[in-house]
Amino acid sequence: MTSKFWPKLAPGLRRLPSAPTPRSSGIILPLTTQTTTSRPLRCHSTYSSVNAQEVSHFNALAAEWWDPYGSSRLLHLMNPLRHDFIRGCLTVSGTEQAGLRYLDIGCGGGIFAESAARLDSTTHVTAIDPTPSVLAVAKAHAKQDPALRGKLSYKQTSIENLETPKEGEGYDVVSLFEVIEHIDRPEAFLDRVRPFVKPGGWLVMSTIARTWMSWFTTNLVAEDILHIVPPGTHDWNKYINEDELATFFMGKGWNSARVMGVVYVPGLGWKEVQGSEKVGNYFFAIRRDAE
């Protein structure tokens, strides 16, 4: 962008890198037809998904995690929509919504993990995060509710160090809410996650498309101007468009990909907006092949 169109940046603001326009295929993504040219595929057999800078950043936010008006406010407001999206996935696949086991990866302070554990349809939630201060907050908050005992367990670990389930076992729902955009090598990370989803189970996540609009709303407005989100929370270069995300699963034993675009409306919270997955925040889910 030349100075003719962007003459001067205010102190502390970041310039937007160039980016391609994302593509969308609607609510159902046929994995056999998805392609991407905007991000090269990356295959790595072994690595750690834990980024020291990310851990340090979220450690600093630990004290505010359960403040509904603090730095995690948007996560609190998004949580009901997370459950709506999961119920939709389970319904469309005919999954019995009883006795469900969850694995919440990158659970943070436990906003989703706690709410999932309170559902009558849930047997148990295992929640993991590598960030010690945030996980300490999660554990302390859960102790305030005796009903969570036996239904929710926290572990300070990464997915690489979590014991892999036996073949044919695993979790009914594995969640990655606001996680994948903090991972350096998302395709290798998702390959590592696959064995934890039981055959016929769902991998569910939320993330952000890599577009000019998402940079404007999440980096410039939310972080730099309004400070709704702490500065440095998001790296625009790690955002993933939905067609790229679908490509990571092609030919690896997955089916029935689903996507739902969501928009934050001040005063109203997060709302589903069809087509908005092309430009900003969206939910994505995919089902592991039944064996």
- CA–CA gap between residue 164 and residue 201 (Å, rounded): 15
Confidence band, pLDDT 50/70/90 cuts, at residue 14: very low
**174, 105 Cβ separation under 8 angstroms:** yes
Bind-site residues for Mg(2+): 178, 181-182
pLDDT tier, 52 (very low <50, low <70, confident <90, very high otherwise) = low
Residue stretches of the annotated binding site for S-adenosyl-L-methionine: 82, 106, 129, 177
Residues 230-254 pLDDT 10s: 776 768 889 999 999 999 999 999 9
CB 22 within 8 A of CB 242: yes
- Reply yes or no on whether the pLDDT at 2 is more than 60: no
Let me know if 105 is exposed, middle or buried by CB neighbors in 10 A (0-12, 13-18, 19+). Answer: buried
Q: How confident is the model at residue 30 (pLDDT cuts 50, 70, 90)?
A: very low
Residues making up the binding site: 82, 106, 129, 177-178, 181-182
pLDDT digits (tens, 9 = 90+) for 268-280: 899 999 999 999 9
Q: Is domain 52-288 given the CATH code 3.40.50.150 in the classification?
A: yes
Q: Are strands 197-208 and 171-177 parallel, antiparallel or unpaired?
A: parallel
Per-residue pLDDT, 46: 47
Q: What is the pLDDT of residues 170-192, one digit of tens each?
A: 999 999 999 999 899 999 999 99
Stretch 151-179: mean pLDDT: 95
